[in-house]
Amino acid sequence: MKNIVVVGSQWGDEGKGKIVDWLSEQADVVVRFQGGHNAGHTLVIDGITYKLRLLPSGIVRKNKISIIGNGVVVDPWALLNEIDEIKSKGVQVHVDNFIISESANLILPFHREMDEIREDTAGKGKIGTTRRGIGPAYEDKVGRRSIRVMDLRSEKNLDQRLEAVLLHHNAIRKGLGKKIFEKNQLKKDLLKIAPDILKFSQPVWLRIDEFKRQKKKILFEGAQGILLDVDHGTYPFVTSSNTVASSAATGSGCGPNSINYVLGITKAYTTRVGEGPFPTELKDSIGEILGTKGKEFGTVTSRKRRCGWFDGVLVRQTIKISGIDGIALTKLDVLDELDEIKMCVQYDLDGKKIDYLPAAVEDQLKIKPIYKSFPGWKTSTNGIKNIDELPENAKNYIYAVEDFIGSKISSISTSPERDDTILVENPFET
């Protein structure tokens, strides 16, 4: 049985929710392996809209097992609220279809506060985080002082762990002139919700090994995009985890030989939320058209996304970095009304042409895109399900993208509806 990793090949918001939902119908197990509730997936099924932040997309389907892996940072209150929210829409969430890794690290209130303090005092140097405590929680994980799901089992252990982490945070808070954080009320609040979290807790690595032996199809679901990867993205304007496909192995506790196919979700243009370099950004009427027609507002924060032309140089680079086998091209229909469509094929850095994104942020901010232009098709592609029915100019654009990035386009999305998809290749069957 094939196991698939789904990752975003740009800065996130590529439309992973719809593709993951379609794939999860074929999968037996869906695993989230990194990130937190800073990234959202919007699913539209039978006219009902589900906005997921922590829960894997498979949760909305019957007879699927959904897993939050050890690589995810979990705000326990946000998770319980999300479970209540989705239950109100008729979705069942119980111990037989939902598992949380006992090794997952928790996001606590002082993480959220630290996130806000840093953003508010950073001025022009702010990252543009979602202010949900993701970065500070990952810092504590790496610093070996964080609270994990398993720590909720023992009041004595939880007390000791909180003492250690607050020793660190309160020293920083005091230095910034902020009120120190009291331990006892937080411990009380955590112990109150502990049974609701612990009932889902299991050793995920063991369960995945079991599912592999049972030859179940496993879908690993990434959050955000490769260009936000802490190692390979536009650092420092990145998230605090590794978003590349190989993180599916470390973030869930299985070897890289568990991954058989990497699917990169790729928008037919480019968007970005928050601060940081964006070579093909359009601050004109075309950018407004893309944002309006594409409904480019964040699932989690409702922030307006920055919009620009498709950057073939960046996507070609992320394909190599993440070992992407095939591309799911989304939001093609957003380009329907444009007279001309452009794709970035090179950069100009101080008069020198380069064909990759330089690592230094100073260079990333200076580069200028070099475009190749294509005539628009000026007719609707909305809802088309067969590639032969696409306008000729749309097909020409798609084939040019495929040729430039060096990866097969396995599907093309022509509307937010899950069935409005042109399937070229099914990753589970290749």
- What does the pLDDT look like over 385-394, one tens digit per residue? 999 999 999 9
Our answer to whether residue 13 is catalytic in this structure is yes
pLDDT at res. 257? 92
pLDDT at position 57 over 90: no
C-alpha angle with apex 364: 359 to 369, nearest 5 degrees? 125
Given 21, 37, 41, 311, which residue is catalytic?
41
Classify the C-alpha dihedral 333-339-344-348 as positive or negative: negative
Question: Which tokens hold the place of 52?
Answer: 């997921």
Contact 427, 32 (CB under 8 A): no
What proportion of the chain, given as a percentage, has pLDDT over 90? 80
pLDDT of residue 324: 97
Give me 87's structure tokens.
């239950």
Residue-wise pLDDT tens digits, 85-99: 999 999 999 999 999
Q: Which residue has the tokens 């111990």?
A: 95
pLDDT at 122: 66
Q: How confident is the model at residue 41 (pLDDT cuts 50, 70, 90)?
A: confident
When pLDDT is cut at 50, 70 and 90, the band that residue 357 belongs to is very high
121 pLDDT more than 90: no
State residue 120's pLDDT score: 77
Selected residue with higher pLDDT from 159 and 418: 159
Query: What's the whole-number mean pLDDT along residues 188-216?
Result: 97
State the catalytic residue, choosing from 13, 75, 325, 333. Answer: 13
Q: Give me the residue label for tokens 């590639």.
A: 387
Q: 35 with 220: CB under 8 angstroms?
A: no
CA distance 28 to 51: 21
Return all residues near 250 (Cβ < 8 A) that are at least 6 apart.
Answer: 33, 71, 242
| Mean of all residue pLDDT scores within the chain | 93
Is 41 one of the annotated active-site residues of the chain? yes
Q: Residue 372: pLDDT above 70?
A: yes
pLDDT of residue 45: 74
Stronger pLDDT, 249 or 297, i.e. the higher one: 249
At 363, list the tokens.
Answer: 């260079």
| Residues sharing a CB contact under 8 Å with residue 369, sequence separation 6 or more, in sequence order | 279, 280, 309, 311, 344, 346, 347, 348
> What is the band of 132 on the pLDDT scale with cuts at 50, 70, 90?
confident
Strands 340-349, 352-354: pairing kind: antiparallel
Residue 149 above 90 pLDDT?
yes
Instruction: Specify the pLDDT at position 237.
Output: 93
Whether 301 shows a pLDDT value over 80: the answer reads: no
